Each structure stands twice: as C-alpha cells, then as structure tokens.
Amino acid sequence: MKTLSIAIPTHNRAHFLKEELDILLPQVLTRKEEIEIIISDNVSTDDTESMIHKYMEIYGDVLFYFRQSVPLDFEDNFDFVIEHSLGEYIYLLGDDDLHSPDFLSVLFRLMDKDYSIIHFNRLVGDEKCSNNSLFDINYEVLEDVCSSSDFIRKLTWKPNFMSSLVFKRECWINGGKLLSEGFYGYRFLGQVYLGATTLSNNCCYYYMPMLIMRNPNRTFAKKFPLFFFVGLSNIFKAVDEYIPGVLDIWLYNLHNNKVAHYMHLLSIIQIDKRFYQSKSKEFMPYLCRRQKVAYKLLTSSISNSFLRKLYNFIVKVLYKG
C-alpha cells in the first residue's frame, strides 16, 4: 500500500492541470515509493488525454490515468478516482489548484502524526491566481490539533474546498457506510465527516496557507445555493446524530455570520427559478426568516431585471451593503 494517493478528477482543464502537475510531480519524485497520482478524466474534449500520456512517458511509475467512456456526475467521478487508489491517506485534489513547493514535505510530516483529517489553509485567487487573499487568518496557531468532534464543531463548512483536505482511507470507508441522501455537491465532505466520527484519531488544521484556490468560472455555479444551504445543512443534520449540537452551530453561522454574503448566494437562484421553485421544501427548514423572504421573492414571477434592483436595495438597507 502507498502512503498517499493524490486523486484528481478532471474535465476539460488541461492547461490548469498541467500547471498543477508541473508543481507536484517534482515533489512526488522525492517520495515516489510512497505516493501515487490517480487521474480520472470525465470525457474531456480538450487535449487532456494527450497531455497526460506525455507525462506518463516520464512518470509512468507514479502517474495512473483513467478516461471515462461516458460522462459521470462529478461526485461519481470523485468516488471513481478514490476507489482506484491505494494510499493509506487520500488527497482528493481539484484539477486547477496550485501548491507550495514544500507542500508534500509538510503533508508527510503531518501524516506521520496519524491524524484522521488534515486541513490546510489557503490563498484564494482568481483564474490567473492573482489578487490572492488569505482565506482564514490566525496569527497565533500554526497547527490546531483537536478531536474530530471539536474539529467539525469549530470548522463546520470551511473544509468544503476539497483541495484543502487530506484524510485517512479508513475515514472514507467508514463514512461510506453512514451516508445519507441529499448531501448535494458535498457528498465527499459528508463522507469524510461521518467517517471521522468513527475514529479516535485527532484532526489537524494547518494555518499556514499551502496552496492557492483558483476560482475560474464554475459550471455548477447555478446549483451552488442548493449545495451550500441544503447540501451542507443535510450533512450537519446527519453528523449531529454523532456530534450533538453541530447542526445548531452550523445554522447559527448560516443565519448570522457573513449574512449579506450568504444572502447574495441566494440571489443566484434567479438564474433557474423553476428549478429552485421545485426545491423550496428542501430549503425552508434551514433558512432564517429573512432568508425565507428572499427565497420566496427570488423564485416569484417578478421579472429578473426589476427583481435584481429590488433585491439589491433590500440587502443594502438590511445589511448596509
């Protein structure tokens, strides 16, 4: 068994994936007996396949490539690439993020401590990885080590960026036995969190940013409110059975912290009103009063141009911009 599997699901990101591999592969070669990179290509129509085959001519002993014959749901592609990995630890990596040159050396030092989950802070940038900002500011602690229950209570949604998360295979396997329906967009996080509740190992949040989260246009953007408000809420509802109180912590944050930001996430629903009208019953249990008003307004028959002006005015008045 390998110590670490870097599992990369990809689709039409050849340029970004090349940048990512050019940074990671030199680090992998220093520990090539312990690391494998597994790539699952979800029927890309760009030059992903030919690009990867060129890399495999050089790195064929550590780089393994699967090309799907029919398109998979993106979460099913996540499952596929993990199922075809062998590592004791799994790093489910997005296909467009960039790492520090010493990322793997830091990661192996942390894996030696037998944590069930390792979470990295990150810089958040645009498509060109410029104008980067620190995601989570903490000048007092470098490694925050705690039990899995305290980790989940403290961080709640923050590890929803999958490239910031490394976890034990045992955590993934155990979590798969506890999965529920409705973890929209974040099934991987729900599986990891549920699996962590079955293990006694500590977890670690490493506050030094070790990668850049690139933010290109996302094809799933119109479903992001469903992922964030419903998918994450359903995860914490399921985890609450094993860590009592975590759902209340999540809902408090959802309703009170960065409220204007979360309200703007709701505004995305006007892109596909019919879809979100059909999902109303799933949203309502998790929204506060103001969010419910916004949801009903945004799924109404009012024209989008007028609705956008009215909505922006309401948010500006309620939350002072």
SS (H, E, C) 23-59: HHHHHHHCCCCCEEEEEEECCCCCCHHHHHHHHHHHH
Per-block average pLDDT, block size 10, for the chain (321 residues)? Answer: 96 96 96 97 97 96 97 97 98 96 98 98 89 90 97 95 97 97 97 98 97 74 91 98 98 81 76 92 94 87 66 62 44
- SS percent in the chain: helix, strand, coil, step 5: 50, 15, 35
Distance CA 226, CA 312 (A): 21
Per DSSP, the three-state class of 147 is coil
Structural contact between residues 168 and 89, judged by C-beta atoms closer than 8 angstroms: yes
How many alpha carbons fall within 13 Å on the CB side of residue 98? Answer: 17
The 10 Å CB-count burial string (b at 16+, else e) for 38-71 is bbbbbebeeebeebbeebeeebeebbbbeebeee
pTM score, whole prediction: 0.93
Distance of CA 81 to the CA centre of its chain: 15
Of 162, 21, 30, 167, nearest to 85 by C-alpha is 167
Number of H helices, E strands in the chain: 15, 12
Distance CA 64, CA 66 (A): 7
Pairing of strands 117-120, 203-206: parallel
pLDDT of residue 218: 57
Element spanning 152, H or E: helix 148-155
Name 272's Cβ contacts closer than 8 Å, sequence gap at least 6.
222
What secondary structure letter does DSSP report for 207? -
pLDDT of residue 45: 97
pLDDT of residue 321: 44
State how far the alpha carbon of 287 is from the alpha carbons of 225, 228, 252, 295, 307, in Å.
Answer: 12, 11, 10, 9, 20
pLDDT of residue 36: 98
pLDDT of residue 106: 98
Pair of tokens at residue 189: 């996080």
